[in-house]
Amino acid sequence: MKIFWVQNRLLLFVSIFWTLLLTILVSPVYSADTVSSTKFKIVKIYDGDSMKVKGGGVDFVVRLIGIDAPESGGRKSSKVKPTSKISQLLGIKPKKSGNSGGGQPFNKESKKALISLIGKKDIYLKSYGTDRYNRVLAEIFTDDGTLVNLEMVKFGMAEVYRGATEKGFDVAPYKKAESEAKRAEKGIWSLGSDYKSPKEWRKNN
């Protein structure tokens, strides 16, 4: 019994040590109130609202919060399995996964717009937890302070996400940008009555 108690205490100590170490290395830790000080590199851009990034010793998939880009289909590649290291790094808990599919007008243009906004720049994340696919929900900032998520809506390459918003996320600037893009008939809004939101598309495809 004594040996078992010692082992448990040792495991607890190691767990606390690594948590404190990661907090120091990645400070400030991702939250809805701060933008990460850690620089991330783009590994792969899947479509207009999801990508794989690496930084802080891990790589993971990011879902751009607040926006919904035209579906390109085959999102299996953008699922991630939660690991303790990612969870510790981001201070978040993973959720259960699901699936979706499709392929609609402007999906290629949307992806190209995201690529052009980021290019080979380092990015910073403002995280709001994870979605049901275990992707990190985040606003993405470039070195010059550009908020990539918002720019995608301004360009008409994505609409404002129509589902529930995460705690601490301010959707107001996104709705304003969407209204302006609609009036100017930019990107997806040039389709007029033929336009279907990604949310509606996923239900039927």
pLDDT in tens, 74-116: 444 344 454 555 555 665 555 543 333 447 899 999 999 999 9
Cα 15 to Cα 19, 129, 131, 143, 196: the distances in Å are 6, 21, 26, 34, 48
pLDDT at residue 88 in the model: 59
Query: Which tens digit of pLDDT belongs to each residue from 38-74?
Result: 999 999 999 999 999 999 899 999 999 999 999 987 4
Cα dist. 121→41, 117, 133, 142 in Å?
Answer: 7, 9, 26, 7
Burial class (CB in 10 A: 0-12, 13-18, 19+), 65: buried
Range of the domain at 23: 2-204
Q: Which of 115, 122, 130 is nearest to 51 (CA)?
A: 115
- CA atoms within 13 Å, Cβ hemisphere of 51: 26
Which tens digit of pLDDT belongs to each residue from 139-193?
A: 999 999 999 999 999 999 999 999 998 999 999 999 999 999 999 999 999 999 9
The separation between CA 93 and the C-alpha centre of its own chain, rounded to angstroms, equals 14
One-letter identity of residue 58 = V
> CA 50, CA 75: separation in Å to the nearest integer?
9
Average pLDDT taken over every residue of the chain = 80
Residue 2's pLDDT is what?
52
CATH number at residue 141: 2.40.50.90
Mean pLDDT calculated for residue range 188-203:
92
Name the CA dihedral angle for 120, 181, 162, 89, rounded to a multiple of 10 degrees: 20
**Count of structural domains, the chain:** 1
User: What's the CA gap between 18 and 166, in Å, rounded?
Assistant: 28
- Per DSSP, what are the bridge partners of residue 123? 40, 142
What is residue 83's predicted lDDT score, i.e. its pLDDT? 56
pLDDT tens-digit readout, 11-25:
555 455 444 433 333
Task: Please report, for residues 61, 122, 163, the alpha-carbon distance to residue 125 in angstroms, rounded to integers and kept in the order given.
Answer: 12, 10, 21
This prediction has a pTM of 0.72
User: So what's the pLDDT on residue 75?
Assistant: 46
- The confidence band for 5, taking pLDDT boundaries of 50, 70 and 90, is low
The residue ranking higher by pLDDT, 75 or 199, is: 199
